[in-house]
Amino acid sequence: MAAEKKIAEVKVLDKEAEKKEILKRYRSLLRACKPTLEKGDKELIRRAFDIALEAHSNMRRRSGEPYIYHPIAVAQIAAEEIGLGTTSIICALLHDTVEDTEITLEQIEDEFGPKVSQIIDGLTKISGVFDQSSSLQAENFRKMLLTLSDDVRVILLKLADRLHNMRTLNVMPRDKQLKITSETAYLYAPLAHRLGLYAIKTELDDLVLKYTEPDVYNMIRSKLSESRKEREKFITVFNEPLNKAFSIQDINCTIKGRTKSIHSIWNKMKKQGVPFEEIYDIFAIRIIIDTPFEKEKADCWKVYSIVTDFYVPNPDRLRDWVSTPKGNGYESLHTTVMSSKGKWVEVQIRTERMDEIAEKGYAAHWKYKESSSEGALDEWIGKVREILENPDSNALDFMDDFKLNLFSDEIFVFTPNGDLKKLPLHATALDFAFEIHSDVGAKCIGAKVNNKLVPISHEMASGDQVEILTSNKQNPKEDWLSFVKTAKAKSKIKSALREEKKKLAEDGKEIFDRKLRQLKLNIKNLNINNILLYYKVPSLLDFHFKIAKGAIDLKELQKVIDEKLTRQTTERKSDESVHKLIKDVKGSKGSTLVIGDNEDKFEYTLAPCCNPIAGDHVFGFITINDGIKIHRTNCPNAVQLMSNYGYRIVKARWTDQSELAFLVGIKVTGIDDVGVVNKITKVISSGFKVNIRSISIESEDGIFEGIIMLYVHDRDHLKKLSEKLAAVTGIISVTRIETDD
């Protein structure tokens, strides 16, 4: 009895502690909202909080914490890190209530009005974006973006929700972690970037790395921590003469040292093939000027002039996004200068307004802040809507087109009248033509770039002045799709080709109907699917189109109809078998595939795209024809597989692989010297008893590069071998080849 009483007391204490913690988090949220609060807002936020608290009162997160912690955290991110106002805070607090509790949209509308109801409806519709098959996932994402043009806050709150889920991902099982991080890398991080939310984009990228490559993440984080004091000392010395000069010139500004993100450091290490110690621009100096809007541009260049009085700039590294801001609103002046210690340092110069837009996102200043100078986001959303509203657009094609523009860097091109157009890097003259007008693009036969005649496939550069040449005899061609870069051009070309195809298909249909009448057959009595399977065409439209083009001969039609075709049944069985395999694997051993365990009944192969070896972080992917394939979590194809086909992913772990050998490739670079090949092979074969499958070494101007394919037991074995090779005199770097190209 006494023990039961003690347990009851502990529960009461826990409840009390939780109540205090919830209240503490709510007060912290109110402090974050303070800059945007108007009369009556506090009461509205309190009402939303009370409704959410009551609705989620019996719910817990996977960590065991009260569920209400999540909506409070999302609201905090929206207020503090994106700079959103009261409407968004209310929506964040209530964002899961309609989907997970008894509360309805009607009740929310009665309580808070149509705008809050509309945003929560948008959030509820997109909550299941990544489910089941790839086409469904893509279609749902398309629907999600349609809400963006109604109110961009839907997307901003979805990003805040995703950021909090990523911050608390450690409590999720491994397969869920991989699926969520892949979705984040695939869409949410680039979307945050496109909306100008750099701080959020950077954190999402870092968190993706933390879960896909924990060893790399921890190594870089540890090295950054070790070198922090040295960096701080360097920044102080670098800033000293600048501070004095700014004071004399009466320039009011703040200078900060900003360390690069773990993700961007890792990207540089991979791209340049160098270790952490050789990345020269680990941090940047940011100078933030307090100046009125009309003096911004002049003051940024004034500060640039002072910086270059003390430090020599690299002329190839000047980026002027003050005169021509990026499409997502980013404004800043970037230069790289040589410090007195012989190190290159990136210096970013911007005003307080520019810094706020860069940190909190251009989107936060959009329409509902009554600002007229922010048309770039409107323009981008207009382009997104144009792609979305193409009625014939295939959902997966749309995803590819949309991501094309999402990731692209930009160039600035002028019309003959001097109007500025922003286009993605590598855009062609034909892209420019479609940017002016769809009809201009469809009739384009060439262009004059800086008064020089060029073909429609000509790639433009920033600063080009372009005049488009057209002809009424011109029509869009299939091969145009191979060189255009903008989503708009691709969409319009595909649409025009489909229209042309439909016209030709009408002629093909007449030929087919005539043949059926000749054979005295009625189309209603035919199994059209069997006919399409025989002729290997995906649809009736394609069938009619190919007849019109003469690519299908109908002489064998009677034979096709008389034959009993079994291919359809076989395909259905194949589809059923993959679903059975998914069911069997997912239901086995806690959903974990054990690699190298002879007792395991599931066969698997190691994916050639990333060559996993024992010790690598891996996952299993259930294919339709090749059983289970094992991929590394950082495989080039991993993000797409996990975000599009999450239901086919299975956890995988290695057993002891000491008796097995895996083929792996390493790249060795260094100073060419007599006997260098002998030194390398000696380390590999004698010290580590590793079998070499192939070795090729090329030398140019005293530098050699070697590709060695060899067999190792596991990741640890490879690491030790790489360290031993790196210690050989004359060798500069040893890196694992990531893919099997």
The two structure tokens encoding residue 70? 């999540």
Cα 370 to the center of its chain, rounded Å: 30
Q: How far apart are CA 49 and CA 495, in angstroms?
A: 48
CATH number of 16-171: 1.10.3210.10
Burial of 359 (0-12, 13-18, 19+ CB in 10 A): middle
186-241 pLDDT tens trace? 778 877 887 778 889 999 999 999 998 898 899 999 988 888 888 888 888 999 99
Question: Which tokens belong to 80?
Answer: 């503090």
Indicate the SS3 state at residue 334. Answer: strand
Please report the pLDDT score of residue 222 as a whole number. 92
Contact (Cβ atoms closer than 8 angstroms) between residue 363 and residue 196 = yes
Taking the alpha carbons of 534, 540, 544, 545 in that order, is the dihedral positive or negative?
A: negative
Q: How far apart are CA 54 and CA 183, in angstroms?
A: 31
Q: What is the dihedral of CA 510, 511, 513, 519, to 10 degrees?
A: 160
Establish whether 100 is a catalytic residue: yes
* Catalytic residue (choose from 16, 50, 54, 99): 99
pLDDT of residue 404: 54
Residues 549 and 552: their CA atoms lie apart, in Å, by 8
Residue 232 is among the residues annotated as catalytic for this protein = no
The candidate with the shortest Cα–Cα distance to 29, out of 43, 58, 8, 49, is 49
Phi, psi dihedrals of residue 683, rounded to the nearest 5°:
-60, -45
CB 19 within 8 A of CB 66: no
188: closest CA among 159, 216, 214, 157? 159
HSE, side-chain direction, 13 A CA sphere, residue 130: 21
pLDDT recorded at residue 242: 92
Please give the backbone phi and psi of residue 457, each rounded to the nearest 5 degrees, phi first. Answer: -85, 0
Q: What is the pLDDT of residue 511?
A: 85
pLDDT of the residue at 8: 43
**Using one digit for the tens of pLDDT, what is the confidence trace for 248-277?**
988 899 898 888 899 988 988 888 777 888
Ranges of beta strands (E only) in 558-610 are 592-595, 604-606
The residues with which 699 forms a beta bridge, in sequence order, are 704
Domain positions in the chain are 16-171, 224-369, 569-654, 662-736
Closest CA to 466 of 496, 491, 490, 430: 430
Write the single-letter amino acid at 737: I
The H or E element that residue 18 is part of is helix 2-33
pLDDT for position 134: 41
Q: How far is CA 668 from the centre of its chain?
A: 31
Residue numbers of the chain with a pLDDT score lower than 70? 1-13, 125-150, 328, 361-408, 522-527, 529-530, 560-603, 624-625, 643-644, 655-660, 687-689, 738-741
Dihedral over alpha carbons 424, 364, 296, 232 (to 10 degrees): -90
The CATH fold assigned to 662-736 is Alpha-Beta Plaits (3.30.70)
pTM above 0.85, yes or no: no
Q: Could you tell me if 411 and 424 are in contact, meaning their C-beta atoms sit under 8 angstroms apart?
A: yes
| Cα end-to-end distance, the chain, whole Å | 70
CA atoms within 13 A on the CB side of 548: 17
How crowded is the C-beta side of 3, counted as CA atoms within 13 Å? 0
| Amino acid 95: pLDDT | 86
Q: Which of 21, 65, 80, 100 is catalytic?
A: 100
Q: What is the pLDDT of residue 372?
A: 37
In this structure, CATH architecture of domain 224-369: 2-Layer Sandwich (3.30)
